[in-house]
Amino acid sequence: MKKRFAAALGLLLFAALLSGCGAEEEPFLQKTYMAEETVRAVCIDVRDREIEVTRSADGQTRLLYSENSKEYYHFTLEDGTLTVQAAGDKTWTDYIGAKSSANRKLELQIPDGQLEELRLATTNENLTLQDLTVAGGVTLESNGGDIAFARLDVGASLTVSSKNGDVTGAVVGSIDEFALESAVKKGESTLPERTEGGEKTLRVSANNGDVDIVFVEE
């Protein structure tokens, strides 16, 4: 009797799961956040979101994103610092079935050379930056995705942390300009473990991924 009851309960749970998989996901709306004042620092800390950073064509700082009532974002702009965090109102059934990564992409557009600080962190997705100049420091973190940047020019520091993903990019300047610390586990690296004497700092850590960073002229 107990076995028949357990089997029936299992069938009911399985039917509920199938019903959840068949339910349509609420549509995402494409939106744009436009900063109403000059932005000097940007901090984005999210999960399961792809982040792409591009140059702003008109000198404005904006973020292109998609959201619905279950997955949305909080924006805080205070004293020139823009903070972006993901939020949501989901139940366990909302996690059943495949999710479209296209709806979870953030495109940050920033004026070249205006930011004093840029901090980006995500998981299970890639983090990419176009040719950019940041007056101060840049911090890039990803767990489960690749980090890639093209001709990144920093005024003070660059910190890169990756787990289960590769790091590729080009840093503007010579290696002599940087005090460098590099720690790579379970992967190959083009960087030495340590150099001293540079006015800028470059810190790179990677676990289970390769690091290919080169230095290029301005």
- Residue 6: CB partners within 8 Å, gap ≥ 6? none
Structural contact between residues 46 and 85, judged by C-beta atoms closer than 8 angstroms: yes
CA 78 to chain centre: 21
pLDDT one digit per residue (tens) for the chain, 218 residues: 555 545 544 544 444 444 444 445 689 999 999 999 999 999 999 999 999 999 999 999 999 999 999 899 999 999 999 999 998 765 434 444 445 456 889 999 999 999 999 999 999 999 999 999 999 999 999 999 999 999 999 999 999 999 999 999 999 999 999 999 999 999 999 999 999 989 999 999 999 999 999 999 87
Structural contact between residues 170 and 191, judged by C-beta atoms closer than 8 angstroms: no
What was the pLDDT predicted at 103? 85
